[in-house]
Structure 1
Amino acid sequence: MSAASVAVRVRGATQHCRAHCTHTTDKNILSGVVNMCVVVVVCVALGHPHWFYIKGGGCNVHSLGLYLFFHTGHFASKEPQSDPHITYFSNGQKLTDCVTREVVVLMQVVIGLIFLMVSSAMVQTLLDFTAPPDRLLSFLRRNAVGSIIAVWVCVVGMGVTCHVGVLIEAQQVATKPPSTTIPSHVVVAFHTGFYLLVTAGWLAVVGVGCSWLRPAYIFQEVESTPLTEDCEGPDTFSLPPSSPPPPSLPYLTDHPPPPPLEGHPPPPYTP
């Protein structure tokens, strides 16, 4: 065995140990837990039946939720000037003067954005819990790319939801029934589902902070086994017991001590 082959095996074993220690100690558990909470809160918001509170307009219900727009509904066909009301059938419910075609499309856009937010937060959770050694995946995990995408998707979703609220309010004002006694006041307000989405957005911001502001010595797992035990494998640098050490590595061979000098030492050097 030559000295070059021994050096190559030693270098390979060192790189293997370094990669193994980085893989086992670079997990960000706190960020993974926060992003898991983002996924849970967004899923609860998606299925919550109350996103908009409606009062005083022509709508026959007092609350709208995203679950009404999971499936493609249909508007009631009517002859011109036969029925002034806008009726929408969806998920087994009849909505009269509650939504328009534009509102339905925008609500489905919000559903799509929420699914994108769930996907990005889930990817960030898996990266934080597993800490894959791949360079690209490690870059995505350390810079919290999944959480950043979740934050921006949440911001866009809240903006679209606010626009939907404006459209619903305009429709309720236009379809408000005439009052003979006390004039009714149209109220369109956000309900629990929207505030759950806002909460999930703030949690995603916290997840970004857990990745960006994480010191190197926090949230790291400490191996209980020595480093030499973790490095046992095909790249080990131990020499086989049957092969003698190479002559070019004298520090690996037990040499006998040199014999003592006999006689007087040589005189000092004089130019």
Structure 2
Amino acid sequence: MSWFRILGSNCSTYLGLYQFMRLGYFESSTHSRTLDIPGGTIITSPVIVEYHTGTEVLQCVTPEVLNLMRVLIMLCILCIFYSMVGFCLDIIGPSKKSLRFIRRNALPSIWSVLTAVAVVGVSYLVTRSLELSIRAIRPHEPVHITYEYGCYTVTAAGAASLLATACNLLQDPPPPIECGPHRQRLVDDFEGLETFSVGMRSMPPPPPYTP
């Protein structure tokens, strides 16, 4: 699933997180260009940076873009982890006080929402970094960078997590257990399980069977 789309340039058209899972390396190359002007000729040699992933070559990807994409990968993993923790707490129903506090206050959902917001912010930084790097290499070429399905999916997941968090926090708390005088009297009168036991040896034998 792609996250960014680059239009109007010779760079890689689509960028996704899966392209940055492996360790790659950068390679720079120069291409000489000749510009004719009225006063003479100018030869330019712009430096083009390419990122090799092992399976493909990504152009216009700088070390800053690479670091931001890996930050996105880390944030997505954290968001999945927080969601799984909240799901497990809802399914198991913990009895420990600390875990019940986390589940009652929807802390995993809150962490998921904050992580999704961070993903959206880092995605914006990626677009800005891509635009600056492309304009530095090709200043006269028009460029347009848009979001793709990956960003929209994370945004929708963050909105759903925010709705779930609001529903969890706004639900009615469980009613408190009443400890009135009637309940206390019943507890005081209870002497243990032996109160309800019946001695089988003291019971008379049953009458003989008669057809």
Shared fold (TM-score, shorter chain, > 0.5): yes
Paired positions, count: 170
Structure 1 residues 33-73: Cα deviation after superposition (integer angstroms, max 9, x where no partner): xxxxxxxxxxxxxxx2x1111011341x2110011111111
> Of Structure 1 and Structure 2, which has the larger fraction of its residues in strand?
2
Residue 164 of structure 2 aligns with which residue?
Answer: 207
Task: Tell me the amino acid that sits aligned with residue 14 of structure 2.
Answer: S
Counterparts of 2:65 and 2:22 in 1: how far apart (Å)? 14
Query: Do the aligned residues in 1 keep the contact of 2:28 with 2:49 (CA within 8 Å)?
Result: no
1:114 partnered with 2:76: yes
- Which of residues 24, 47, 58 in structure 2 aligns to 1:84? 47
1:129 partnered with 2:91: yes
CA displacement at 1:242 relative to structure 2 = 2.9
If asked which structure has higher relative contact order (CA below 8 Å, sep 6+), I would say 1
Task: Tell me the amino acid that sits aligned with residue 115 of structure 1.
Answer: I
Residue 56 of structure 1 aligns with which residue?
Answer: 8
Computed over aligned residues only, the root mean square deviation of the Cα atoms, in angstroms, reads: 2.5
Structure 1: runs of 5 or more not aligned? 1-47, 179-183, 218-234, 244-271
- Which of residues 38, 58, 73 in structure 2 aligns to 1:95? 58
- Which of residues 126, 129, 146 in structure 2 aligns to 1:189? 146
Residue 147 of structure 1 aligns with which residue?
Answer: 109
Residue 43 of structure 1 aligns with which residue?
Answer: none
Query: Do the aligned residues in 1 keep the contact of 2:7 with 2:145 (CA within 8 Å)?
Result: yes
Counterparts of 1:206 and 1:125 in 2: how far apart (Å)? 15
Query: Do the aligned residues in 2 keep the contact of 1:58 with 1:177 (CA within 8 Å)?
Result: no
Query: TM-score when scaled to structure 1?
Result: 0.57
1:70 partnered with 2:21: yes
Task: Tell me the amino acid that sits aligned with residue 211 of structure 1.
Answer: N
Task: Tell me the amino acid that sits aligned with residue 196 of structure 2.
Answer: L
Counterparts of 2:54 and 2:25 in 1: how far apart (Å)? 10
Query: Do the aligned residues in 2 keep the contact of 1:58 with 1:172 (CA within 8 Å)?
Result: no
Aligned residues with identical type, % of pairs: 32
Structure 2: runs of 5 or more not aligned? 33-44, 175-191, 201-211
Counterparts of 1:123 and 1:91 in 2: how far apart (Å)? 34
Query: Do the aligned residues in 1 keep the contact of 2:28 with 2:48 (CA within 8 Å)?
Result: no
Query: Do the aligned residues in 1 keep the contact of 2:3 with 2:149 (CA within 8 Å)?
Result: yes
CA displacement at 1:238 relative to structure 2 = 5.6
Note closer, same or farther for the CA distance 1:74–1:137 as it changes in structure 2 (3 Å cut).
Answer: same
Query: Do the aligned residues in 1 keep the contact of 2:109 with 2:165 (CA within 8 Å)?
Result: yes
CA displacement at 1:239 relative to structure 2 = 3.2
Query: Do the aligned residues in 1 keep the contact of 2:26 with 2:52 (CA within 8 Å)?
Result: yes
Residue 118 of structure 2 aligns with which residue?
Answer: 156
CA displacement at 1:241 relative to structure 2 = 2.0
Residue 137 of structure 2 aligns with which residue?
Answer: 175
Task: Tell me the amino acid that sits aligned with residue 90 of structure 1.
Answer: T
